[in-house]
Amino acid sequence: MLHTTVKHKLKQVAGSLTLVASLFTASVATVSAEDIGWPEKEELKFGFIKLTDMAPLAIAYEKGYFEDEGLYVTLEAQANWKVLLDRVIDGQLDGAHMLAGQPLGATIGFGTQSHIITAFSMDLNGNGITVSNDVWAEMEKYIPVENGKPVHPIKADYLKPVVESYKNAGKPFKMGMVFPVSTHNYELRYWLAAGGIHPGYYAPHKGDTSGQIDAQAQLSVTPPPQMPATMEAGTIFGYCVGEPWNQQAVFKGIGVPVITDYEIWKNNPEKVFGVSKKWAEENPNTHIRVVKAMIRAAMWLDANNNANRPEAVKILAKSSYVGADADVIANSMTGTFEYEKGDKREVPDFNTFFRHNATYPYYSDAIWYLTQMRRWGQIAEPKSDNWYMETAKSVYRPDIYTKAAKALIEEGIADAKDFPDFDTETGFKPPQTEFIDNVTFDGSKPNAYLEKFSIGLKGDTVL
């Protein structure tokens, strides 16, 4: 737990004086600070899970970007994603590092019902799928080899005969993911289904939230830091998780990461920073200032071709943040990824925090998550394309992000060329083609997208 210190209290006075000075300067040179106004709440507590993609929070804290905005922040690790979400809803936390699906799931009432919004996307990519050594030994028989190494990307087609052998032996094939509305759940399901392995349906309207109806591979929830030990114990045979918990399996010699989410969906959105709608309405200036600080942190993380990553690794290795060995964190944070022991490959965008407009909250990203909720039964009934659009707009808030980014540009801290063109941006990325199954995603046509899959709910289908 990172507490607001006495030192920060002293800085609060200095920070207030600095803010007054900046407001005076702004009245002459720009209107950004005046437009944003004073923070309604200065002392804040934010939650996170011990994963490397919480880095924008850690860097905004460590580099003083929160304090530059007159904000005095405490960062606190949370036990799991449910506890984290509940504490944002009940006000114990002002905001948190969240799974991209959490604000959407909560807002539409899957699990907990509460209107959560996000104005900041924390990163792209960052996850992987790992299998146990025993499963890898069986998969390896089917995987093409070139120059003595497996050919990547490794598809679930090569896992399918292994799953079938478990079934023939009367043994369920079990895998772990971190939460029902996590990117990891949807990525693992996407990869499995692309290889002809059914990952199962949810039927919440029937009281079935296991997600294992018709499943050929049974997926269950395991908290990220517990993934390697749970697999080592034989409770699960593989998992999808964020870093450093795939690389941890390599270092411990207990498993092999077979694919990254960068290979499942190139430059996919991952975590977001979430707050309750009520909190956002009560603290609009504070919210913009939080986003400003986190944009700066993301810029720092990607600056000069990742030149700051070694320093970031040392920060994240602290027990108060991720608490894993720096060598393990560095394996992915510095632009590489190790599959089998010794098979380290260049993946420069594996962890991306600012490049490719990583921080912008695109409506089309939200719609992709909603399509996956529908595909696997978390949204039980068919929905119109307009419903997807309106739901995305109620949760993803590029308007707030834009105010923060424009202020940074006016202050000379950021460059307009590094952001979307705010005058023309629609919130929709062009149709995306770089998926492992080569299916194109057009966020403006969610129902047509769902029709493209042979496995999954679509149209008027109801379980």
Q: How far apart are CA 347 and CA 339, in angstroms?
A: 11
For the 127-268 domain, the top CATH level (class) is alpha beta
pLDDT at 121 (0 to 100) = 98
Q: How far apart are CA 163 and CA 171, in angstroms?
A: 9
Task: Take residue 225 and report the two structure tokens written for it.
Answer: 């830091």
Task: Give the mean model confidence (pLDDT) for residues 204-215.
Answer: 92
pLDDT at 29 (0 to 100) = 32
The confidence band for 15, taking pLDDT boundaries of 50, 70 and 90, is: very low
Query: Nearest-CA neighbor of 267 among 373, 396, 370, 123?
Result: 123
Q: 3-state DSSP call for residue 41?
A: coil
Strand partners, 203: 208
Average pLDDT, rounded, for the chain: 92
Cβ partners under 8 Å of residue 226, min gap 6: none
Q: Give me the DSSP letters along 300-326.
A: HHHHHHHTTHHHHHHHHTSTTTT-S-H
Task: Take residue 202 and report the two structure tokens written for it.
Answer: 């949810």
Task: Take residue 295 and report the two structure tokens written for it.
Answer: 């944009």
Percent of the residues in the chain that have a pLDDT greater than 90, as a whole number: 87
Helix H or strand E encompassing 399: helix 398-410
Task: Kindly tell me if the per-residue pLDDT of 22 is higher than 60.
Answer: no
Distances (CA, A) of 454 to 45, 189, 422: 45, 13, 38
Asked if residue 150 has a cis previous peptide bond (ω within 30° of 0), the answer is no
Give the pairing of strands 336-338 and 344-346: antiparallel
Residues 145, 343 contacting (CB under 8 angstroms)? no
pLDDT at 35 (0 to 100) = 76
For the whole model, what pTM was predicted? 0.92
Q: What ranges do the domains of the chain cover?
A: 6-124+270-337+349-361+397-418, 127-268
Task: Give the mean model confidence (pLDDT) for residues 308-318.
Answer: 97
Same topology between domain 6-124+270-337+349-361+397-418 and domain 127-268: yes
What is the CATH number that goes with domain 6-124+270-337+349-361+397-418?
3.40.190.10
Lowest mean pLDDT among 7-16, 105-114, 120-129, 448-457: 7-16
pLDDT tens for each residue of 72-104: 999 999 999 999 999 999 999 999 999 999 999
Place of tokens 């392995």: 197
Task: Give the mean model confidence (pLDDT) for residues 169-195.
Answer: 97
The CA radius of gyration of the chain, in Å to the nearest whole number, is 22
Task: Kindly tell me if the per-residue pLDDT of 6 is higher than 90.
Answer: no
Strand partners, 242: 127
Q: How far apart are CA 286 and CA 289, in angstroms?
A: 5
The confidence band for 34, taking pLDDT boundaries of 50, 70 and 90, is: low
Helix, strand, coil abundance in the chain, percent, nearest 5: 45, 20, 35
Lowest mean pLDDT among 195-204, 205-214, 423-432, 441-450: 205-214
Lowest mean pLDDT among 14-18, 271-275, 361-365: 14-18
